[in-house]
Structure 1
Amino acid sequence: MRHQEPDVVDRGRFDTAVTPWEGARWRDAALAWAERELTAHGLRVTGPRSVRLRPWSVLVRLPVEGHSAVWFKANPPAAAFEAGLAESLARWVPEHVLTPLAVDAGRGWSLLPHGGALFRDVLDRGPADARAWEEPLRQYAETQRALVTYAARIEALGVPGARTHALPEIFGRLVTENALLDAAEKRRLRASRARLVDWCAELTEIGVPDSLDHSDLHEGQFFAPEPGRFTFFDWGDALVGPPFCSLLVPLRAARARYGSDVLPRLRDAYLEPWTGTGHHTRADLRRAADLACRLGAIGRACSWGRLFPGTSDAADGAASAAYWLRELMARR
């Protein structure tokens, strides 16, 4: 980049996180790629970069002449699929996602336009009304339904598969590999595996087809660019598996903000687009949602393995994964 202003770097609570940004050769290559792609679009950087470094991503805000900003994102190897996935989603469901300005799928790099106001900011500015969640949940469910036929192609892009039949095996691997679970806790979790198998069998019997699961759909993961329209982004935790697992995170976010009484209404708003198939009763869909909200903890545990190699925050990731494994088997 040609400007001389110093970067503004935000490391959050991860002061010692190791990311590629620390390497001058990588940093120069990434910024040169971003500049070439911006130039191809007739765009020019006009101010200092803002850099957000986390163990799971490098995100650089590039102020651009005539636009509010463009964003460069780099994923760790285990989530490098996000660049190619974002490009494909822009073809398959363009009305519901950001369309990248450029991607380098091999390196896990994306150049993304500004998406408008975050839904979190919209909630913070508006009245305390849980109904604001209903329409984005409906639109997200419509996106998942549209992507059912692309599930195999999404996996071919490198998005990890976590289909219902595979969840017990994935759970077992996560328990075995987690260094923060002691031997006694691992035994307790493994002893609960039969319950997990039963839940998966019941979910399979209900028969909702697999699709893309965002796996971390909180209020900071989608934009509200205009009234009544929402665009979803940040697919680095994504999986291909039971779609209703996506409900886990937004319902927890809504409960934290509004209390538990709102959850049935929001669940039903999400389920509404799935009722049009005529293949499932509303009772079946609600039961599938209840099961998937529990099983979604497996996807959350998986996501904490997608950090930059060598990061000093791997222990934090193992602790978060252990939390979700315990949540999965907690009695409710």
Structure 2
Amino acid sequence: MRNVASTAVDRGGYPDTPTPWEREGWRSAALGWVEDGLTAHGLRVSGALRVRLRPWSVLVRVPVADHGAATGRGAVWFKANPPSSAFEGALTAALAHWAPRHVLAPLAVDAGRGWSLLPDGGALFRDVLQRQPVGPEVWEDLLRQYAGLQRELVPRVRELERLGVPSARTAELPYVFEESVAGSPALRPEERARLTALRPRLEDWCGELAALGVPDSLDHVDLHDGQLFNPAPGRFTFFDWGDAAVSHPFCSLRVPARRASDRYGPDVLPRLRDAYLEPWTGAGRTAAELRRAVRLAWRLSALGRARAWGGLFPSAAATAPLTAQSARSLLELAEEPPL
């Protein structure tokens, strides 16, 4: 496979941003590693590669077939993360061990180099949405399942951090805020001043959220309809954990709820919130307290999104559109939550 000639490359909106793929030695080593991983599973390459290059990842679709089989063709996916999210492979492998029904089990992982080899997960939820009618109740189901995964992972937070997952625990969010504001080159002086003035309120939000007693867990940070598979009705598989952090779990709700609201209108938000909260009921917390926690975490989730836009390959770290996205996320802290 090292000599595959017919490779389609998609650079999206970043045609001039360099990635490791441009380096012949890196590319040869990566494709050799993929080939070795396929061989270990009795697979072989059966067609041209499709490469997707972004400032935050290298993704290669590798069509495969079983050795000696005339049928059974499919695909596997190679992913390379930048150093800031190199934990993703090890995290994915750990999740497959701890909660196999919710995630993909990697075929191979090189944690040191930030490389993963993953099986195909079936239909993307985004593709399902495009080809058939899907009601809000399906989003309710996926949010219940995701919240269930987060609850299962509460006892694992120290293990998650040992895997390299960034720590942004509820009590630490004021410091995450300070670092994010100080490190954002795209903020205008008046925006920086506005955010600095917001810090006392942010401390109050974090203190109140922590006092409500929902423990920190794994926050996906970017759980939209292109980050989960829907291979069968009622079944969802969550993937693409490169932006993840150990933080307040309710910070995860904002992204999928916004996507559903764009599709069905804002009136869908309360039912999605309540579906997400179902696995979190009990432990002496009232429905009103949980809903208050959602409102606080919704606002604070902007910090996770701001941090995620900085998770780039070193050569892409100063990409202007991405630093601007990070700044916009920080400014969302001042917005009132819609529920």
TM-score (norm 2): 0.95
Is 1:307 aligned with 2:312?
yes
CA distance in 2 between counterparts of 1:67 and 1:227 reads 23
Matches within 5 A, 1:14-93: 14-65=14-65, 66-93=72-99
CA distance in 2 between counterparts of 1:269 and 1:19 reads 40
Is 1:278 aligned with 2:249?
no
Verify the 8 A CA contact 1:159 1:238 in the aligned structure 2: yes
Verify the 8 A CA contact 2:48 2:62 in the aligned structure 1: yes
AA aligned opposite 1:111: L
CA-CA distance at 1:130 after TM superposition: 1.8
CA-CA distance at 1:279 after TM superposition: 2.6
AA aligned opposite 2:156: Y
CA RMSD of the aligned region, Å? 1.2
SS of structure 2 residue aligned to 1:199: helix
SS of structure 1 residue aligned to 2:237: strand
SS of structure 2 residue aligned to 1:237: coil
Verify the 8 A CA contact 1:57 1:76 in the aligned structure 2: yes
SS of structure 1 residue aligned to 2:315: coil
Verify the 8 A CA contact 1:17 1:313 in the aligned structure 2: no
Verify the 8 A CA contact 1:16 1:313 in the aligned structure 2: no
Higher mean C-alpha displacement, 2-11 vs 15-24: 2-11
Call closer, same or farther: CA 1:63–1:3 in 2, change over 3 Å. Answer: farther
Higher mean C-alpha displacement, 210-219 vs 322-331: 322-331
SS of structure 2 residue aligned to 1:310: helix
Name the residue aligned to 1:213: 219
Name the residue aligned to 2:236: 230
Note the alpha carbon deviations across 1:103-133, whole angstroms, 9 max, x for none.
Answer: 0011000000000000111111222522220
CA distance in 1 between counterparts of 2:54 and 2:145 reads 29
Name the residue aligned to 2:118: 112
CA distance in 2 between counterparts of 1:220 and 1:32 reads 28
SS of structure 1 residue aligned to 2:224: coil
CA distance in 2 between counterparts of 1:73 and 1:161 reads 23
CA-CA distance at 1:68 after TM superposition: 1.6
Name the residue aligned to 1:145: 151
Matches within 5 A, 1:65-214: 65=65, 66-214=72-220
Call closer, same or farther: CA 1:295–1:16 in 2, change over 3 Å. Answer: same
CA distance in 1 between counterparts of 2:240 and 2:207 reads 30
Is 1:263 aligned with 2:259?
no
Verify the 8 A CA contact 1:3 1:48 in the aligned structure 2: no
CA distance in 2 between counterparts of 1:123 and 1:286 reads 28
Note the alpha carbon deviations across 1:250-290, whole angstroms, 9 max, x for none.
Answer: 01111111110000001111111111x33311111111111
Q: Percent identity?
A: 61
Note the alpha carbon deviations across 1:216-246, whole angstroms, 9 max, x for none.
Answer: 0000000011111111000000000100000
Equivalenced residues, count: 331
| 229, 240, 247: which one aligns with 2:246 | 240
Name the residue aligned to 2:301: 296
Higher mean C-alpha displacement, 4-13 vs 197-206: 4-13
Unpaired runs of 5+ residues, structure 1, are none
CA distance in 2 between counterparts of 1:278 and 1:75 reads 38
Name the residue aligned to 2:69: none
TM-score (norm 1): 0.97
Note the alpha carbon deviations across 1:80-106, whole angstroms, 9 max, x for none.
Answer: 000100010010000000000000011
AA aligned opposite 1:135: D
Verify the 8 A CA contact 2:138 2:234 in the aligned structure 1: no
